[in-house]
Structure 1
Amino acid sequence: MDEDEIFLNFEEGVEKATEHAAHEFSAVNTGKANPHMVEGIMVEAYGSTMPIRDMAAISTPDTRTIAITPWDKGTLKAIEKAIQTSNIGITPAIMGDIIRLPLPELTGDRRQELVKLVSKHAEDARVGVRKARHNAMDAIKKLQKDGEISEDDLKRCEKEIQTGTDNGIKKINDLLAAKEKDLLTV
């Protein structure tokens, strides 16, 4: 493994951790309808399990409602059941060929619970970034030990890796701050 590969793997690890945090945050109910809240819910249909996004159109007709329109009307009940067992805290209502999910008003306690949840997702992402840093540092030190890079190159690389780590963690913290603000705004 050479220096370029190490940095490529490191940057990929930081990017994956940040994207994962952003995806997890988007699935948290802030009281505003968002298709991300339900698109990954797994539904048993046709003898297999697949996400709702592969079985239906998901839209937000207004800020407090998610509408799910299955492409096959025979999957209505299966999708409804999957939503009920997913513990997202929204009760589905079938209206004709559409499943409507009216978002309940968030209580202060529920908002605090959700802030704790997104904080945990952010910490998991920060751990991912630190793991990428650890792997990159070990690989760079091994290159130096094997005589492939100089002591000066080692110090330069360590500094670059730390800068990348700091930037990744700052990005995650910024995402967290925005999500907390969103959750706590009534």
Structure 2
Amino acid sequence: MNEEIKFILDSARESMNAALAHLEKELVNIRAGKASPSMVGSVMVDYYGSQTPLSQVANVNTPDARTISIQPWEKSMLQEIERGIMLANIGFNPMNNGEMVIINVPPLTEERRKDLVKQAKGEAEDAKVSIRNARQDANKDIKNLDASEDLKSNAEVDVQELTDSYVKKVDVILANKEKEIMTV
């Protein structure tokens, strides 16, 4: 196989891997009932005038499956952490006991589970769009190559097979997340 085609396939594979990695990162933020430090990963806190990720101003732990505890490194940050959690609009009601912020993770209702599945499906669809865009870019690059038509059409078939395999991976990841969300 010609070096240019190999390069095009490798860059398409790299883009598709990036789409999968992004999907997995986004799905971690969709909670499935169990408390996890990643649930507050998107929370930003006003730390002396600059927006700072929560993980950089406090320890975030999960003492049990229904509780997230946030222990700030500076006690003066308690109110700012509470405000940051409320502003992040992630559906949690923080409680401050003077030492740390505690979040009780409520059990998911059936309706909320269905909403989360819809959200997960939306993320999966975004990943599939990214994969198809990578295919489109690769096919465009192949068409612009100075090579025989046979070589070009074989390369396009390879790109399509690569695309199909990555779309299947997205479907598997989504099915696992759906099962995780719907398990009570």
Normalised by the length of structure 1, the TM-score is 0.91
Match of 2:96 in 1: 94
Q: Which residue of 1 aligns with 2:74?
A: 72
CA RMSD of aligned residues (A): 1.6
Cα deviation code 1:24-47 (max 9, x no counterpart): 111012110111111122222221
1:1-186 to structure 2, matched below 5 A, reads 2-143=4-145, 147=146, 149-186=147-184
Cα separation, 2, equivalents of 1:24 and 1:106: 19
SS of the equivalent of 1:68 reads strand
3-state secondary structure, aligned to 2:144: helix
What per-residue deviation string (whole Å, max 9, x for no partner) do you get for residues 11-60 of structure 1? 22111111111111110121101111111222222211121122222211
CA–CA distance in 1 between the matches of 2:4 and 2:84? 47
Percent of residue pairs identical: 40
Asked whether the 8 Å contact 2:42–2:88 carries over to 1, the reply is no
For the structure 1 residues 83 and 141, does the alpha-carbon distance in structure 2 shift closer, same or farther, using more than 3 Å as the test? Answer: same
Kindly tell me: are residues 65 and 7 of structure 1, through their superposed partners in 2, closer, same or farther at Cα, counting changes over 3 Å?
Answer: same
CA contact (8 A) 1:39 1:58 kept: no
Structure-2-length-normalised TM-score: 0.92
> 2: distance between equivalents of 1:7 and 1:56?
43
Distance 1:5 1:32 in 2: 43
C-alpha distance in 1 between matches for 2:18 and 2:10: 12
Q: Is the 8 A contact 1:33 1:65 kept in 2?
A: yes
Q: Secondary structure at the match of 1:2?
A: helix
SS of 1:104's equivalent in the other structure is coil
Shift of 1:130: 0.5
Q: How far apart in 2 are the matches of 1:8 and 1:48? A: 40
User: 1:81 corresponds to which letter in structure 2?
Assistant: R
* 3-state SS in 2 of match to 1:59: strand
Q: CA deviation at 1:151?
A: 2.0
